[in-house]
């Protein structure tokens, strides 16, 4: 019995490119959906944290000035506060490294 060779299906480079583009677009769509979902969830989490913080501040009965004074004095020394302020100013472009 003679074996008959099957013809090989050759895929042209254009077909391969078209398939690769199709796969890429599907992956991009999945990425975009996942990125949007992550962004939405993080926004919800920030809103929850913001509301919890506001409730805690309101429940404390402290004034804004008292809360800010507590925040500035309790956690960091004066030197650490100055460094933090410098870091924030550098981060937001208000202070250059040369000024430090």
Q: Report the predicted TM-score, pTM, of the whole model to 2 decimal places.
A: 0.52
Q: Which domain holds residue 24?
A: 13-61
What letters, b where the CB count within 10 A reaches 16 and e where it falls short, cover 69-85?
eeeeeeeeeeeeeeeee
**What is the count of structural domains for the chain?**
1
Asked, for residue 76, whether it belongs to a domain, the answer is no
Q: What is the pLDDT along the chain (100 residues), one digit of tens a residue?
A: 567 666 666 779 999 999 999 999 999 999 999 999 999 999 999 999 999 999 998 998 988 888 888 777 655 566 666 666 655 655 555 555 554 4
Asked, for residue 82, whether it belongs to a domain, the answer is no
Asked if 64 and 74 touch (Cβ cutoff 8 Å), the reply is no
Asked, for residue 36, whether it belongs to a domain, the answer is yes
Sign of the torsion formed by the C-alpha atoms of 12, 16, 18 and 19: positive
Asked, for residue 3, whether it belongs to a domain, the answer is no
Asked, for residue 97, whether it belongs to a domain, the answer is no
Asked, for residue 25, whether it belongs to a domain, the answer is yes
3-state secondary structure of 76: coil
Asked, for residue 78, whether it belongs to a domain, the answer is no
Q: Look at the block and give the residue holding tokens 């509301």.
A: 51
């Amino acid at each position: 019995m003679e074996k008959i060779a099957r013809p090989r299906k050759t895929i042209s480079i254009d077909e391969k490119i078209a398939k690769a583009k199709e796969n890429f677009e599907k992956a991009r769509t999945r990425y975009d959906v996942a990125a949007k979902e992550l962004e939405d969830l993080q926004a919800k989490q920030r809103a929850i944290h913001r509301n919890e913080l506001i409730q805690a501040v309101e429940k404390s009965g402290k004034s804004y000035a008292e809360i800010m004074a507590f925040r500035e004095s309790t956690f960091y020394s004066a030197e650490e506060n100055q460094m933090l302020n410098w870091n924030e100013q550098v981060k937001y472009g208000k202070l250059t490294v040369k000024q430090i």
